[in-house]
Amino acid sequence: MQPSHDVLLLLVVLTNFWVLGTTRLSSMIRAAAMQGLLLAALPIALYPHASLHIVGLAIGTLLVKAIVLPHFLTRAIREAAVRREIEPLIGFTASLILGAAAVALAFAIAPRLELPGTPSGMLIPVALSTVIIGLLVLTTRNKALTQVVGYLILENGIYVFGLSQAERVPFLVEVGVLLDVFAGVFIMGIVVFHINREFDSLDSARLTELRD
Partner 1 sequence: MTFTPVLGLLAVLLLAPALPGIANRVKSALTGRRGAPMLQLYADLGKSWRKGVVYSPTTTILFRLGPVVLVCTALLAAGLVPLDGTTSPIRFTGDLVAFAGLLALGRFMLVLAALDTGSSFEGMGASREVTFAVFAEPALFLCFTVFVVATGDLRLQDMLGQPLAHTWLATAPSLLLGAASLFIVSLAETNRVPIDDPLTHLELTMVHEVMVLDHSGPDLALILYASALKMALFGSLVVRVFVAGAMVSAPMALGLLLIGLVVYAMAVGVVESVMARLRMNHVPQLLVAASATAGFGLILLLR
Nearest one of 4, 38, 11, 51 to 159, comparing CA atoms: 38
Positions in 114-153 near partner 1 (CB under 8 A) = 121-122, 125
- Residue by residue, what is the 3-state secondary structure of the chain? CCCHHHHHHHHHHHHHHHHHHCCEHHHHHHHHHHHHHHHHHHHHHHCCCCCHHHHHHHHHHHHHHHHHHHHHHHHHHHHHCCCECCCCCCCHHHHHHHHHHHHHHHHHHHHHCCCCCCCCCCHHHHHHHHHHHHHHHHHHCCEHHHHHHHHHHHHHHHHHHHHCCCCCCCHHHHHHHHHHHHHHHHHHHHHHHHHHHHHCCCEHHHHHCCCC
For residue 109, the minimal CB distance to partner 1 (Å) is 12
For residue 160, the minimal CB distance to partner 1 (Å) is 16
**Closer residue to partner 1 in complex, CB, 18/72:** 18
- Total residues contacting partner 1 (rule CB under 8 A)? 22
**Closer residue to partner 1 in complex, CB, 11/63:** 11
- Residue 205 binds to partner 1 (criterion: CB under 8 A): no
CB-based contact 124:151 (threshold 8 Å): no
Task: Figure out which of the listed residues 44, 67, 90, 96 binds partner 1, where binding follows CB under 8 A.
Answer: 96
Which segment (1-9, 81-89, 154-162, 185-193) binds partner 1 by CB under 8 A? 1-9
Positions in 33-92 near partner 1 (CB under 8 A) = 92
For residue 176, the minimal CB distance to partner 1 (Å) is 33
For residue 46, the minimal CB distance to partner 1 (Å) is 17
**Closer residue to partner 1 in complex, CB, 108/205:** 108
CA angle centred on 96, ends 181 and 36, rounded to 5°? 30
**Closer residue to partner 1 in complex, CB, 23/139:** 23
- Residue 4 binds to partner 1 (criterion: CB under 8 A): no
For residue 100, the minimal CB distance to partner 1 (Å) is 4
> Checking phi first, is residue 178 left (phi over 0); if not, alpha (psi -120 to 50) or beta?
alpha
For residue 29, the minimal CB distance to partner 1 (Å) is 18
| Binding residues for partner 1 (CB under 8 A) | 1-2, 6-7, 10, 13-14, 17, 21, 23, 92-93, 96-97, 99-100, 103-104, 107, 121-122, 125
